[in-house]
Amino acid sequence: MHRHPSRVRNVLAAVLAGLWLAGVGLPPVAAADDSPWRVEGARRMVAFADVHGAYDELVALLRSQGILDGALRWSGADTHLVSLGDLVDRGPDSRRVLDLLMRLEGEARAAGGAVHVLLGNHEVMNIAGDLRYVSAGEYAAFAGADDDALRETTWKQRLEREPGAERAAFDARHPAGWFAHRQAFSPEGRYGAWLLTRPFVMVVNDTAFAHGGLPPRVAELGLDETNRVLHRELADYLAAWQELGTRLPDADAGEFQPRPEALAAAGLVEQSAALRALQDASVFTTAGPTWFRGQALCQPFTESANLESALAKLGAARVVVGHSVTP
């Protein structure tokens, strides 16, 4: 922000010049206030954001900062590595990015460091089934026997609901890897289950981290309650759609926004209104920290008071964000 240039930092790993680093000599790492999302005593932090499936660029970035060795193993000692979200979508290698960070999480812990992965809007989109930005390469990474088996099972279920369905149209709407990708990002899947344990906002030392920024709701709720509320909103939506989606003949094509209209067209008017309300929750909108851009877009007259309130509520001196390209 113009009035507080030291309070907001923007990092975009896809453009390597956006790296933000901080290192201070403090006591050993410890959780504070019994909060899983607050850490004190981190000697060094490396933050990055918006990888979007750019695996090679992420590896180059982490090697340049001493986080990875030549064998791509953790070499960052007690560094705290913070991903600000949007690991997925757009690029072809999201699966490799996720696998790398999931492995590094354990290696960092064993070395006295940590890997913190925050949720961005694109992680939330993939979990909820909003697939507008999933690339062909991302689907292809999941192609194989498991996907083939899921495809045949789903096709048989589709025929039972809609005997006149055309196989060619079905396959065209679901490229190779589609079904295994959706299973992997489901709440029970390898990536979905892992991502659903990640925070939306966290604080390390006196620095807050969020994908998009700190909207007024963060100033109202604080650290733990913000994470609890957003996780509950996402869980409520997933539970509702898991039940309601089965009432539609073609609920698996990945179109998120039209779902309430599809329910209404099927005569499920009350259910349509209920799902629309869930889709308007802060976890899916600019009212939440994954989509918010107020601070990144430098609106000092409208954001200064909100930023000060949010930082005070979090007990932080600054916020580090990704999500928005900034000057």
273-306 pLDDT, tens digit per residue, is 999 999 999 999 999 999 999 988 866 777 899 9
| Strand-strand pairing, 114-117 and 207-210 | unpaired
pTM of the model: 0.90
Q: Which two tokens stand for residue 189?
A: 């899947």
CA dist 38 and 326 (Å) reads: 27
> What's the confidence (pLDDT) of residue 34?
81
Q: Which two tokens stand for residue 237?
A: 């939506």
> What's the confidence (pLDDT) of residue 15?
33
> What's the confidence (pLDDT) of residue 254?
54
> What's the confidence (pLDDT) of residue 11?
58
Q: Count of alpha carbons within 13 Å of 51, Cβ hemisphere only?
A: 31
> What's the confidence (pLDDT) of residue 27?
34
CA dist 212 and 117 (Å) reads: 14
> What's the confidence (pLDDT) of residue 248?
83
CA dist 324 and 212 (Å) reads: 7
Contact (CB, 8 A) for 307 and 320: no
pLDDT-flagged residues of the chain (< 50): 1-6, 12-31
> What's the confidence (pLDDT) of residue 264?
93
CA dist 61 and 59 (Å) reads: 5
